[in-house]
Structure 1
Amino acid sequence: MSTASPSPKISIIVPCYKAEKSLPRCLDSLFRQTFQDIEIISINDGSPDRSIDILRDYQKGHGDKLVIINKQNEGVWAARRDGIATARGAYIGFVDADDYVEPNFCEVLYKTAAISDADITVCGFWREDEAMHHVLSEELTEPRNTFDALCEPARLLELNTAPWNKLFRASLLKKVSDLRQPPPVFEDVVMHLLVFPHTNRVAFTGNALVHYLVHENSLMTSITAQQITATYEALVAVKEIEKSRGTNQIMMSLMAAEAFLHMGISLMFRVSYDKTANLGTVLRENRAYLDKHFRTWKSSDIISLKHALKYKGANLKVWLARIVYRAHLMRAALGAYRLMIEKTGRDIKW
């Protein structure tokens, strides 16, 4: 029976909800890690299936290397918060119970973090169709230099907001403010916006280490007006938290740029798939929201031709999207974007 060290170098947090089919594969991939100085914290978030029984069976074989938090259902935000509070590692990572990781996931991320003295370390991943058993895309594997977020804040736009392909310095996450009303969707965006203003160095491994499984029912789901409103309110709450903490103007400007990227582009793209939604009305409300709460989205130097030409990639795409949005051409652009995906099967990765 293996046990975790008193102060492991890494804590991996695995929230579970209706995960009985995929959970064994996920846990097996974590217990087969080449880097063993880890603890696995799995939160059974009131799951109605056999997830808690599976966790207890694994704990019998792995001792206190697997920490189980069994609680009533409160959602992934609260589950991750509970995991962070419990974590003893110097670094914290996340793995979704639907996914699994390569055997060197922890080793490569930890060594990269240690060498770079990074607050956030990012690895690439495979986006895989679970039903068809094939890779849809390989992402974040291009060579990228380590950067200082305060000196190059625009480069934070390069990062996907999912936490499951990253290691975070534990002290960074443990200082993150909680929200009274976390959003029911886009919770990953909210978490990162609470982390980014306090991040120094960001490093990349340059290789894919995570198998991110795409399910048929998760490709594109409708989003309700209530969910949109809750997400809008959560981002405003984050802005107020950071203002009260004295966050500098550079990072507040980054927050406006991120709000445009995720609310103005990603959220509107998701709404555009809802045939019951009045996209024109939602776009007008979206612009009014950005203008009121994140006024610098239109003029922020974070989204600029200078950064688009220097960094290319996500920075170039966001700069072009802002031109389209400001010209009131977003509805047509979203339609063309969806048509391209349907015809080619290829998506533009942000």
Structure 2
Amino acid sequence: MSKVTIIVPIYNVEEYVAKCLDSLLRQTYSDYVIYAVNDGSPKNEQPIIDRYAAAYPEKVVAIRKENGGYGSVLEMAIARLDSEYFLVCDPDDYLADNALETLVSLADTHQADMVIGGKNFIYSDSDEQTYDPAYNTKFTTLQPGHCYRKGTDEFENLFFIDPSPHAKLYRRSLAEKIQFPHKIGYTDNLLFYISLLNAKNVVYTDKALAYYLIDRAGNTMTDLKPQVIDAHAQVFSTILDQAKSCPEVPDLFYYRIFEAYKFSFYQLRRIKGTPEEKQAHAEVLYGLVEKLMPHRSAILQGMDRFGYTGNRERLKDKLVLTSLLSHPVYRRWVKSFVKE
């Protein structure tokens, strides 16, 4: 049994997976194992995975499964973990050599349930790197090496962290009961938010421990298919459903989910399709709005503290959260928005 398991969900990334696995095998920390999970990929990753598993049998576990999407990989891998902690590394990304050593050291020092690091953005067509502290610095400042304890006011600041999986060490018990939707993307958001709601002690480090390729064709940063809206709606609706079983859910959590809805709403301009098609997908997104309505007061409080939109848009947001007016206001807003 290793202390840490690194989960690598592999699908359609043949040209990247070797570089990712090489970075994981260079770790300066040694008590870990890699789950290289081929999620029914149509490309030829399996021979690469098998080669690494044969060369490093104590480190690389080759797992092959039918395609079920990112969430199905997380669900399967977490269910079979026997390590105390785990980390997810997407196969088109990679880790700094000292990533595990840094994260585990902080976890041991503070008996932390989660440790979260910074990252560097990297690009497919250049050697440029851009540092990202992994949270929204407009609204808070996180202290490196500080242990944030649940129940304190400062713990809420952690909800401004980017939910992507990069450089995040999770205690296994945080995620054991999470039920992941299959066949859709963005389930890393579910892992982050529910784990954070379950965590008692969380540590942040500003060291860039992961390298995130943000412009690969087909990843969640570049995907412009209309189904993106549906996936956002389903994942964040699932987050709200499963948050009901978490202890001490802070008000700021609901505001952050509302902000995720707003992000999805603005994707309506980016996705491909006719105005009518976009309106149809906006109706799917409205299901998320309905689940947010019972938390209207918490969301409005967040708007007052952190809202940066103009008065007109803020009024629309308030009306959309008001049950009697919500759907007519929402439909008019969508119709005008997608035609602009």
Aligned residue in 1 for 2:120: 126
- Alpha carbons 1:24, 1:54 under 8 Å: kept: yes
Aligned partner (choices 46, 61, 71) of residue 77 of structure 1: 71
- Alpha carbons 1:223, 1:271 under 8 Å: kept: no
The alpha-carbon deviation at position 305 of structure 1 amounts to 7.4
Distance in 1 (CA, whole Å) between partners of 2:236 and 2:83 is 29
Worse overlay, 129-138 or 290-299: 290-299
* 1:302–1:183 CA distance, 2 compared to 1 (3 A): farther
Unaligned runs of at least 5 residues, structure 2: 136-140, 318-332
TM-score (norm 1): 0.77
Aligned residue in 1 for 2:270: 273
Aligned partner (choices 297, 322, 327) of residue 299 of structure 1: 297
Cα RMSD over matched residues? 3.1
Q: How many residue pairs are counted as aligned between the two chains?
A: 310
Aligned partner (choices 55, 61, 68) of residue 62 of structure 2: 68
- Could you tell me which amino acid in structure 2 is paired with residue 108 of structure 1? T
The alpha-carbon deviation at position 109 of structure 1 amounts to 0.5
Aligned residue in 2 for 1:326: 314
The alpha-carbon deviation at position 285 of structure 1 amounts to 4.8
SS of equivalent to 1:25: helix
The alpha-carbon deviation at position 263 of structure 1 amounts to 1.5
Worse overlay, 125-134 or 256-265: 256-265
Distance in 2 (CA, whole Å) between partners of 1:88 and 1:322 is 50
- Deviation string, structure 1 residues 124-179 (Cα, Å, up to 9, x no partner): 000111212212443339752331233235213221111232000112122x2314
Unaligned runs of at least 5 residues, structure 1: 1-6, 309-315, 336-350
Aligned residue in 2 for 1:99: 93
Worse overlay, 268-277 or 17-26: 268-277
* 1:288–1:325 CA distance, 2 compared to 1 (3 A): farther
Worse overlay, 30-39 or 16-25: 16-25
- Alpha carbons 2:254, 2:299 under 8 Å: kept: no
Aligned residue in 2 for 1:345: none
Worse overlay, 111-120 or 143-152: 143-152
- Alpha carbons 1:38, 1:65 under 8 Å: kept: yes
- Deviation string, structure 1 residues 57-77 (Cα, Å, up to 9, x no partner): 111221132111111111111
Distance in 1 (CA, whole Å) between partners of 2:165 and 2:110 is 19
- Alpha carbons 1:182, 1:234 under 8 Å: kept: no
Aligned partner (choices 16, 20, 24) of residue 18 of structure 2: 24
Aligned residue in 2 for 1:211: 211
Distance in 2 (CA, whole Å) between partners of 1:28 and 1:17 is 17
- Could you tell me which amino acid in structure 2 is paired with residue 32 of structure 1? R
Task: Check if 1:256 corresponds to 2:254.
Answer: yes
- Could you tell me which amino acid in structure 1 is paired with residue 149 of structure 2? D
Aligned residue in 2 for 1:341: none
* 1:115–1:184 CA distance, 2 compared to 1 (3 A): same
Identical residues among aligned pairs (%): 22
Aligned residue in 1 for 2:148: 147
- Alpha carbons 2:70, 2:185 under 8 Å: kept: no
